[in-house]
Amino acid sequence: MTTSDHGVLAALGQAIAERIGEPRYRFWFAANTKFAWEDDRLVVGVPNHFFQEWLEKTFAEAVRAAAGAVLGRPMKVQFTIDPELFQAHRRAQAQVKAPAPPDGLSRTDAEGSAVASQVSAPAAGPAAAGPRAKRTRRWHRLSDFVVGPCNRMGQAAAVSTVEAPGEAANPLVLYGPVGTGKTHLLEGIYGGLRKTHPDWRVLFVTSEEFTNRFVQARRLGKFSSFRKHFRECDALLIDDLQFLAGKPATEEEFLHTFDALQVDGRLVVITADCHPKLAGDFSPLLADRLVGGAAWGLTPPDRETRLSILRHKAARGELPLPEPVLDFLADQLRGNVRELEGGIHSVRHYSQVTGRAIDLDLARQAVGDLVRHAAAVVRLPDVDQAVCRALRLDRGALQSTQRAWAVSHPRMIAIYLARKHTAAAYSEIGRHFGGRNHSTAVAAEKKVRQWLRDGTVVPLGNQSRPIRDLVELIERELLR
């Protein structure tokens, strides 16, 4: 018979907190786990697969040691999904929404409390909307983020920022094309910080909101209150920083705000559409500041991650999607997360309208237009043009017979990107890029992959650039 005792549970929680730190315990365990034991086995109930995998990977040893110390005997630890916690987590997803602020304002403290309650524990209910609230916004949580090779480092950095903000990279920059999860992670950090540090003043704004506040302060002569608002917070989170580009006065004000926060050791987290060093419209001073911490890129999901995202999102609705349908969508929809969500919505809506059960045939009909569009998102000419634009090559340069590094290396990168972003065969890619044969295209792709693994600096005419920077620059052009 499995047993539990309140006194032992309290001691067990305290023992775990002593080993992993109080903030991490509150964030991961306090409202998200149940403990029960029998003989030499401790069962840790969790709300979903994310918690099961993360806690087992990260905290199993600490929990085992704490259990042994409190219960007085060696204990095996098993993490398993608890039905009550699972249902509570689902109810929180379905019911809790936080109001969006009036235009031009940052998130309020009331909203922060609502967001914090969504990070891992069930919330009492939505925050009350003020008379000027215009819409509701569903805030994302770190526990709902689907992890894969395309975003693993960014997700790990976000979790570390919440668990130990004083030890995390500062600033943290998360960058990538639209629909790759940057805002999801930023909102998750926001809610996580409000939960683990309830006494902190945490600001979440878009760059547009920052600009609006700055313009208003300048017009009304209220710079003092504007600067006090942004420079005296404990953490500043800004979404889509690239929209400050081309606004010199606003960018300069943000640079001074950034410096003031950094001097005081305050946390800054930013999202942008590309690596700061590749954002040509940022001032050199700002770009230099942004790379002083850590910058992690997020890319469109690979096939396995797409399938994981589809499974995760399909589990939320009342109409289940069979596995063959999810496999079909993962194969055919190769864009970002929003496109995958659109596929799920299309299938469910088509099923409801037609009164038919969801199967593979229905899915093909429901997302036919979306699949045709997805298949045509990136073509060989698109890759060709993106490389030429990003690296300032003349049109047609990649079809030439030139073997100089200034052309041959971009051509090899183009072949690599063509294999990554199109369904074209090696022979087709080789023909497009100067009539090369199949084996030449294979060799070019392998060479670029090796460069990426080694972090090679690639010569291009009179200059050299890190291969990762070049690929990111071109993909930004290609996927914009």
Out of 229-238, 270-279, 424-433, pick the least confident. Answer: 270-279
**Cα separation of 254 and 207, whole Å?**
10
Q: Is the pLDDT of residue 244 over 90?
A: no
Q: Which of 116-120, 205-209, 319-323 has the highest mean pLDDT?
A: 205-209
> Can you tell me the distance from the alpha carbon of 400 to that of 408, in angstroms, rounded to the nearest whole number?
9
Instruction: Tell me the Ramachandran region of residue 297: left when phi exceeds 0, alpha when psi lies from -120 to 50, beta otherwise.
Output: beta
- pLDDT computed for residue 93 by the predictor: 57
d(CA 266, CA 238): 14
Residues carrying CATH 1.10.8.60, the chain: 303-375
> Mind giving me the DSSP string for 385-422?
HHHHHHHTPPTTGGGS---SHHHHHHHHHHHHHHHHHS
Is residue 137 very low, low, confident or very high in pLDDT (cuts 50, 70, 90)? Answer: low
pLDDT at 392: 87
- Confidence class for position 193, pLDDT limits 50, 70, 90: very high
Query: What does the pLDDT average to over 230-244?
Result: 92
- Looking at per-residue confidence, does 278 or 367 come out higher? 367
Between CA 242 and CA 249, with CA 248 as vertex, the angle to 5 degrees is 115
Would you state the CATH architecture of domain 303-375?
Answer: Orthogonal Bundle (1.10)
Residue 123 has pLDDT above 60, yes or no: no
Structure tokens at 181: 């999860």
When pLDDT is averaged across residues 361-378 and rounded to a whole number, the result is 74
Average pLDDT for residues 448-457, to the nearest whole number?
88
The structure tokens listed for 454 are 């080694």
Q: Which CATH number describes the domain made up of 6-82?
A: 3.30.300.180
Q: Which residues contact 84 (CB under 8 A, 6 or more apart)?
A: 34, 45
Which ranges in the chain are annotated with CATH 3.40.50.300? 96-297
Residues 150-186 pLDDT 10s: 888 999 999 999 988 888 889 999 988 788 899 999 9
pLDDT surpasses 90 at 335:
no
- Evaluate if residue 135 carries a pLDDT over 70: no
What pLDDT, on a 0 to 100 scale, did the predictor assign at position 118? 36
- Distance, CA of 378 to CA of 387 (rounded, Å): 13
> Over 70: is that where the pLDDT of 134 sits?
no
Pick the CATH number of 96-297 from 3.75.10.10, 3.40.1010.10, 2.40.10.10, 3.40.50.300: 3.40.50.300
- Stretch 316-339: mean pLDDT: 85
Q: Does domain 380-479 have CATH number 1.10.1750.10?
A: yes
- Tokens for 320, please give them: 């289940």
Please say whether the beta carbons of 394 and 408 come within 8 A: no
Helix residue spans in 197-336 (DSSP H) = 207-220, 223-231, 248-263, 284-290, 303-314, 323-332
Mean pLDDT value of segment 351-360: 89
Q: Please identify which residue in the block is written with the tokens 């060989």.
A: 380
> Which residues of the chain form CATH 1.10.1750.10?
380-479
Q: What is the pLDDT of residues 256-271, one digit of tens each?
A: 999 999 999 999 999 9
Could you tell me if 380 and 432 are in contact, meaning their C-beta atoms sit under 8 angstroms apart?
yes
What value does the mean pLDDT take over residues 2-29?
81
460 Cβ contact list (under 8 Å, min separation 6): 391, 405, 406, 409, 410, 470
* Interval 388-413 mean pLDDT: 86
How do beta strands 463-466 and 457-460 pair? antiparallel
Pair 414, 398: CB distance under 8 Å: yes
The mean pLDDT value of the chain amounts to 82
Q: pLDDT band for position 347 (50/70/90)?
A: very high
DSSP H or E run through 6: helix 6-20
| Alpha carbons 421 and 410: distance in angstroms, whole number | 16
Quick one: 154 exposed, middle or buried, by C-beta within 10 A (0-12, 13-18, 19+)? buried
